[in-house]
Amino acid sequence: MTGLGQALAGYLELRRGLGFKLERHAELLGEFIGWLEDRGIATVTTADALAWVTLPERASPGWLQYRMQAVRGFAAYLATVDPAAQVPPAGLLPGGPRRAVPYLYSDADIAALFAQAGQLKTPLRQETFKTLIGLMAVTGLRGGEAIALDDEDFDPGRGLLLVRHAKLGRHRLLPLHPTTVSALQSYRQLRDQVFPRPRSQALLVSTAGTRLIRRRTGQTFAALAGRAGNCRPRPHDLRHSFAVATLLDWCRDGGDVAARMPLLSAYLGHCDPRHTYWYLTGTPELLAEAARRLSRSPLPGDPR
């Protein structure tokens, strides 16, 4: 392992020890270090960082910012052990971080995704992606959390799902609707028929019986969503959809939405309700419900 490779290993070990997973950052930094080593470069400079970050053609400002964020974190660590290392200054790239406009999946969209998943090559692969998509849609799980689930994390008797691989190493228990429990049990039965001797501890498995790989899973999801006619297909948008649908249900049942927000935050695995508001989008349905609530609420000084 080269000096840069050793430094990257130390950086990832340190950050992961603090609870960060950094899976995507690790992948990007591996590519960055490979690019440097191919050119005989032994440290990080601002010029080289900028050259690598801006390599993708027609990349969005947000994606370039993300690549630079990964490099800056590593460069700051490297500078503690290599005086020649330079940390690219903040604001080097134009534009700031922007919230990607999520695609909110309707029931019809989910049904279309299921239909496309039903066209995959094997029954197990079909059911794996139907189960993955359905589980993310009804729980708001992050994609990485769903893939990381072990079989023992699902407790059908109590209708609970244990999420042990959340951000910052937090665990949480998710109560499941009986229909979700039934769907997971059906998937388990098919999986166990195909693999009577498990090859992995994973709840959701590939056609080889191994745990799903996040990048390949994302590619398959994008292909399914594209064929289903969804725009900007991202698995993470299922999380946005769950949050918005939950809030809409609460508005319609007349409950105290503000008082319930900590419940949604806990279910999504957020430590602060402020993080949950990032997932909420002002859809026409939500705005209509808000207008109806306002029309029923007396204004200050109103004698009603």
Cite the active site residues. Answer: 142, 167, 236, 239, 270, 279
Distances 168 to 13, 96, 236, 283 between C-alpha atoms, Å: 14, 25, 18, 31
Q: Are strands 154-155 and 172-175 parallel, antiparallel or unpaired?
A: unpaired
Extract the tokens encoding 94.
């134009």
Neighbours of 64 (CB within 10 A): 19
Extract the tokens encoding 112.
């279309």
Computed on alpha carbons and rounded to an integer, the radius of gyration of the chain in Å comes to: 23
Instruction: Give the Cα separation of 20 and 13 in Å (integer).
Output: 10
Instruction: Give the Cα separation of 212 and 129 in Å (integer).
Output: 10
Residues composing the chain = 304
Amino acid at 268: L
Q: Which residues pair with 160 in a beta bridge?
A: 155, 175
**What's the distance, Cα to Cα, between the start and end of the chain in Å?**
75
Q: Which residue has the tokens 């499941």?
A: 176
Instruction: Give the Cα separation of 36 and 147 in Å (integer).
Output: 32
Amino acid at 293: R
